[in-house]
């Protein structure tokens, strides 16, 4: 007897499986069409003694004590601050663009003038999205806004999305705001850490409950009718669930290129972004993400190339947040409403929302408390 079928063993599906099994004492069948758990956070020990993040580098960060405490039941953590450098005019400079970046790129008198203007206008410690900074009428601020837009955002965004920054929902570029401080960390969240033994080990613990059966290599379409009484939580693409009846929602995909080098370290920070050069957007050195693999003699670099998503060919990594896709999503949300009480949709693909890992987990915890616990 299965009470709940959960489709997708990523952060969303696994959190919900764990909650339903442990808090409601209900039987869960968790399926994933991939041959592993952990969704896009899946990692595994590679042959060079370095933990590989199969679907691109994943760095955990959150301001939510609730999420942090929840996940801490299943893993120990290793504190880790992610640092990103962007190559601008041939120099490696800190990102998010901050007062240190200005000092690294401009002659001292210019840097001082621009920094003073930014502090006077917005306040020290404030974060200003590039699209907001570009609205400034002040000559010096307009200069720096234009400089940052051209050298950091325009070409990177085009490589990543095949769109200009202003054609995306403003929150996308606001993820990396101009930071009026000397804090060089890519994230400022209260909790920043990597799971000590990796994400897959954490997911394995979350799923080791007698009420949870995990079945891999299983597509929902193949078991759809097998458990007619079970309630369903679907964390795959919402348009796929409804057989694309209102047309396919667009996603952005990526291709990862893995390069092994026989050297201790190959680049100066965890990630180096290349806004203007090359076809790839960024390179991450896995060995720098935590200490698990410090003893490996070599190092692995992952290059990310963004590309169009084609079902069956590559993975739907990113929903594309634009006004147009928000419109395309509406009829699917309405269909989901009609199925309320029988099927729940959640997650980066189920909600068609650009969630970080902690947001996927928070969404699952909130859904559990608000709707699922009372439906059981």
Binding site for ligand FAD (CB under 6 A): 7-13, 31-34, 39-41, 55-59, 219-220, 235-236, 254, 317, 347-349, 355-358, 360
Q: Tell me if 178 contacts ligand UDP by CB under 6 A.
A: no
Name residue, tokens 């580098």: 57
Nearest approach, Cβ of residue 317 and ligand FAD (Å): 4
Among 152, 266, 329, 372, binds ligand UDP (CB under 6 A): 152
Nearest approach, Cβ of residue 65 and ligand FAD (Å): 16
Closer Cβ to ligand UDP, 158 or 246, answer by number: 158
Q: Tell me if 306 contacts ligand UDP by CB under 6 A.
A: no
Nearest approach, Cβ of residue 248 and ligand UDP (Å): 21
Distance CA 13, CA 5 (A): 10
Residue 348 binding result from ligand UDP, ligand FAD, none, given CB thresholds of 5 to 8 Å by partner type:
ligand FAD
Nearest approach, Cβ of residue 197 and ligand UDP (Å): 23
Nearest approach, Cβ of residue 8 and ligand FAD (Å): 3
Sequence-separated contacts (24+) of 113-121 with Cβ below 8 Å: 113/140, 114/140, 114/141, 114/143, 114/144, 117/141, 118/144, 118/178, 118/180, 119/180
The answer to whether the Cα torsion of 274, 275, 281, 285 is positive or negative is positive
Among 160, 200, 214, 235, binds ligand UDP (CB under 6 A): 160
How many C-beta atoms surround the C-beta of residue 215 within 10 A?
12
Which positions ≥6 away from 226 have C-beta within 8 Å?
A: none
Q: Tell me if 342 contacts ligand UDP by CB under 6 A.
A: no
Name residue, tokens 């692995």: 300
Residue 172 binding result from ligand UDP, ligand FAD, none, given CB thresholds of 5 to 8 Å by partner type:
ligand UDP
Distance CA 150, CA 134 (A): 11
Which positions ≥6 away from 127 have C-beta within 8 Å?
A: 96, 177, 178, 179, 180
What the block records as the tokens of 340 is 């309320």
Determine the interface stretch with ligand UDP among 19-27, 64-72, 155-163, 336-344 (rule: CB under 6 A). 155-163
Closer Cβ to ligand UDP, 160 or 299, answer by number: 160
Residue 300 binding result from ligand UDP, ligand FAD, none, given CB thresholds of 5 to 8 Å by partner type:
none
What the block records as the tokens of 370 is 């608000």
Residue 317 binding result from ligand FAD, ligand UDP, none, given CB thresholds of 5 to 8 Å by partner type:
ligand FAD
Q: Tell me if 237 contacts ligand UDP by CB under 6 A.
A: no
Q: Tell me if 266 contacts ligand UDP by CB under 6 A.
A: no
CB-based contact 26:20 (threshold 8 Å): yes
Q: Tell me if 86 contacts ligand UDP by CB under 6 A.
A: yes
**DSSP codes of every residue in 58-90:** --EEES-HHHHHHHTTT--EEE---BEEEEETT
Closer Cβ to ligand UDP, 174 or 196, answer by number: 174
Distance CA 189, CA 60 (A): 10
Closer Cβ to ligand UDP, 173 or 299, answer by number: 173
3-state DSSP of 127-195: EECHHHHCCCCCHHHHHHHHHHHHHHHHHHHHHHHCCCHHHCCCHHHHCCCEECCCCCECCCCCEEEEE
Number of residues that bind ligand UDP (CB under 6 A): 13
Among 12, 40, 101, 173, binds ligand UDP (CB under 6 A): 173
Closer Cβ to ligand FAD, 18 or 141, answer by number: 18
Among 172, 302, 346, 361, binds ligand UDP (CB under 6 A): 172
Report the interface residues with ligand UDP, using CB under 6 A.
86, 95, 152-153, 156-157, 160, 172-173, 175-176, 273, 275
């Amino acid at each position: 007897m299965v009470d709940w079928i959960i489709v997708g063993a990523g952060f969303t599906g696994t959190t919900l499986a764990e909650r339903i099994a442990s808090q409601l004492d209900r039987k869960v069948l968790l399926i994933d069409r991939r041959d592993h758990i952990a969704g896009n956070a899946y990692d595994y020990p590679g042959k060079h003694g370095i933990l590989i993040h199969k679907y691109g580098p994943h760095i955990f960060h959150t301001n939510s004590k609730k999420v942090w405490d929840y996940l801490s039941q299943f893993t120990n953590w290793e504190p880790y601050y992610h640092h990103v450098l962007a190559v601008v005019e041939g120099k490696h400079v800190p990102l998010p663009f901050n007062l240190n970046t200005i000092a690294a790129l401009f002659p001292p008198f210019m840097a001082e003038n621009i920094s003073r203007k930014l502090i006077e206008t917005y306040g020290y410690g404030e974060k200003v999205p590039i699209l907001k900074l570009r609205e400034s009428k002040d000559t010096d601020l307009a200069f720096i806004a234009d400089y940052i837009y051209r050298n950091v955002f325009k070409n990177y965004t085009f490589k990543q999305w095949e769109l200009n920054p202003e054609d995306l929902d403003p929150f996308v570029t606001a993820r990396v705001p101009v930071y009026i401080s000397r804090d060089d960390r890519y994230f400022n969240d209260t909790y920043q850490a990597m799971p000590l033994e990796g994400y897959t080990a954490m997911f394995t613990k979350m799923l080791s409950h007698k009420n949870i059966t995990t079945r891999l290599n299983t597509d929902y379409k193949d078991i759809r009718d097998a458990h007619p009484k079970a309630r369903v939580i679907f964390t795959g693409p919402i348009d796929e669930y409804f057989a694309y009846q209102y047309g396919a929602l667009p996603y952005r995909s990526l291709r990862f290129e893995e390069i092994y080098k026989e050297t201790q370290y190959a680049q100066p920070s965890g990630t180096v972004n290349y806004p203007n050069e090359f076809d790839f957007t960024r390179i991450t050195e896995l060995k720098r993400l935590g200490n698990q693999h410090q003893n490996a003699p070599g190092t692995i670099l992952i290059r990310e190339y963004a590309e169009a998503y084609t079902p069956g060919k590559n993975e739907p990594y990113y929903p594309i947040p634009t006004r147009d896709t928000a419109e395309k999503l509406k009829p699917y949300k309405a269909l989901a409403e009609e199925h309320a009480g029988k099927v729940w949709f959640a997650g980066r693909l189920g909600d068609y929302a650009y969630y970080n890992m902690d947001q996927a987990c928070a969404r699952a915890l909130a859904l559990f408390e608000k709707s699922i616990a009372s439906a059981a």
